[in-house]
Amino acid sequence: MSSVFSSKFSPLLFRLSEKMSSQVRLRLLPRARCLFDEPIKVKVEGLRSRQVVTMRARLTDDKGVVFSSSATYRANGSGEVDLNRDPSLGGSYVGVEPMGLLWSMRAEKSHKKFQKATSLKMLAEETNERLLMGDGVSRVPVKEGNISGVLFTPPGEGLFPAVLDILTFRSETRASLLASKGFVVLGIGLVQGKFESFEHYPRFHLDHFKEAIDFLKQQPKVIGIIGRSKAADLALSLATFVPGVNATVCINGCSANVGVPLYYKKQQILSPLVYDLSKLIPTESGASIGKYIFEDPLAEKNKGSLVPIEQAKAHFLFVAGEDDLNYDSKTYMDQMVERLKRHGKENFECVSYRGAGHLLEPPYEPFCPSCAHGISHYIASWGGQPEAHAAAEVHLWKKIQEFFRTHLSSDAAQTKAKIITSG
């Protein structure tokens, strides 16, 4: 595991609750050690024919918050349970869900997002070491000028394609896993320095983030950017105003510059899209829906906040969760696609996911319905249906890697626009 945590890996332990038997064996295939974003096959052998058992997963993150899940299975005539084949009869999920014990885990405290993993078992025990940082990947803190972040570099010689990962939450998961796939990745926080939160920023300076791009240019010559939420519209602005960006992934982002004025070279280049926190919609859980706090980006008075992405030379991958309760992400994505088409541009792909919420992460993290907002002071309801959201993360993670490999190669060909809807 990356050094976001105290060790390189996090042990995931499974419980199989019934009276202990030496004949029962819990197996993790193809091996007990894998990267965090890789699926595993869970099998149980040595049970009685048609025996009903409950499997449990339990993790404790780096803040001591406990996450857990459970599912009940019936063994086949040979006394075997195979999560790739057999349906859960009840518990945290039902039906055939091979990785359900992972993504269905919920925090025992309300509004908590997973940060670290761990788990146990009773009938049989096996440890799955889920690595956030692959063998040979280096992690180097970077503090240079206005840059404060962490650089992950794959093993081996040569020039690797580079990605700037702009974070709304303090997490190295996405950056370290992308580096394990062969990218040089610099992870930097959206909000850092003396300001406590996004609301305290009088303005954003694109120049500070350009420094990060210039830093990456010391490595390879092709640069990609990835960001979600507010970090996504900042990524769009970098691709539009700063030369040298080849590919940009915008996950559940807005078509406009949200919240605060954006400056570049000592001049304001975009006005802010205003939001009103009094329009937050409280829910019974204590979390609030923020989807409707923003003004309409297409309103005449907000035209100065729209990012002129048609000026960008980069390729775009727009991503929207259709059940996002934090942003009206699907509408914003449609606005950006329409804008590019109107200007005769075909340098984009887009994918939307029915049932997916705002926090689209690398796959197999516990599903997070609500937690403290990454850059504002309230508990946010993120939206998403657990099964659909988990499936979207698996598909999107592969899509992001494919997109970057295509457009961060030195001889990347021009591609036609593609629109994908995934259920």
What pLDDT, on a 0 to 100 scale, did the predictor assign at position 375?
75
Contact 232, 250 (CB under 8 A): yes
Task: Categorize the per-residue pLDDT at 6 as very low, low, confident or very high, splitting at 50, 70 and 90.
Answer: very low
What pLDDT, on a 0 to 100 scale, did the predictor assign at position 422?
43
Per DSSP, helices labelled H in 242-290 are: none
pLDDT digits (tens, 9 = 90+) for 234-253: 999 999 999 999 999 999 99
What pLDDT, on a 0 to 100 scale, did the predictor assign at position 419?
43
Residues 90-113, mean pLDDT to the nearest whole number: 90
CA–CA separation, 319 vs 308, rounded Å? 18
What pLDDT, on a 0 to 100 scale, did the predictor assign at position 124?
62
Which pair of tokens denotes residue 48? Answer: 């009685």
Which pair of tokens denotes residue 7? Answer: 């060790």
CA–CA separation, 171 vs 176, rounded Å? 10
What pLDDT, on a 0 to 100 scale, did the predictor assign at position 8?
38
pLDDT > 70? residue 172 = yes
Which pair of tokens denotes residue 89? Answer: 């009869």
CA–CA separation, 133 vs 236, rounded Å? 28
Question: Could you tell me how many helices (H) and strands (E) the chain has, helices first?
Answer: 6, 26
CA–CA separation, 26 vs 42, rounded Å? 7
Domains of the chain, earliest start first: 9-131 (2.60.40.2240), 138-422 (3.40.50.1820)
What pLDDT, on a 0 to 100 scale, did the predictor assign at position 119?
30
Which pair of tokens denotes residue 127? Answer: 């440890």
Contact 389, 97 (CB under 8 A): no
| Portion of the chain with pLDDT greater than 70, in percent | 85
Which residue type sits at 228? R
Q: What is residue 259's DSSP assignment?
A: S
Contact 53, 47 (CB under 8 A): yes
Q: Considering only residues 22 and 149, tell me which one the structure prediction assigns the higher pLDDT.
A: 149
Neighbours of 285 (CB within 10 A): 12
Contact 307, 237 (CB under 8 A): yes
What pLDDT, on a 0 to 100 scale, did the predictor assign at position 192?
59
What pLDDT, on a 0 to 100 scale, did the predictor assign at position 30?
86
Residues 166-190, mean pLDDT to the nearest whole number: 90
Residues 262-269, mean pLDDT to the nearest whole number: 95
Which pair of tokens denotes residue 216? Answer: 């990456």
Largest CA distance in the chain: 73
pLDDT digits (tens, 9 = 90+) for 298-330: 999 999 999 999 999 999 999 999 999 999 999
CA-nearest of 259, 204, 254, 262 to 228 is: 254
SS3 197: coil
pLDDT digits (tens, 9 = 90+) for 352-362: 999 999 999 99
What pLDDT, on a 0 to 100 scale, did the predictor assign at position 146?
86
Which residue type sits at 323? D
Q: What is residue 38's DSSP assignment?
A: S
Hey, which bits of 178-293 come out as E strands?
184-189, 204-205, 223-228, 245-251, 262-264, 267-270, 281-282, 288-289
Q: Considering only residues 65 and 43, tell me which one the structure prediction assigns the higher pLDDT.
A: 43
pLDDT > 90? residue 222 = no
Which residue type sits at 48? R
Contact 109, 62 (CB under 8 A): no
Task: Categorize the per-residue pLDDT at 386 as very low, low, confident or very high, splitting at 50, 70 and 90.
Answer: very high
Average pLDDT of the chain? 86
Per DSSP, helices labelled H in 58-205 are: 100-103, 173-180
What pLDDT, on a 0 to 100 scale, did the predictor assign at position 34?
85
Contact 385, 276 (CB under 8 A): no
Report the catalytic residues: 229, 324, 358
Residues 14-22, mean pLDDT to the nearest whole number: 57
| Portion of the chain with pLDDT greater than 90, in percent | 62
What pLDDT, on a 0 to 100 scale, did the predictor assign at position 420?
44
What pLDDT, on a 0 to 100 scale, did the predictor assign at position 123?
53
CA-nearest of 313, 299, 315 to 250 is: 315
Q: Considering only residues 72 and 131, tell me which one the structure prediction assigns the higher pLDDT.
A: 72
CA–CA separation, 290 vs 302, rounded Å? 19
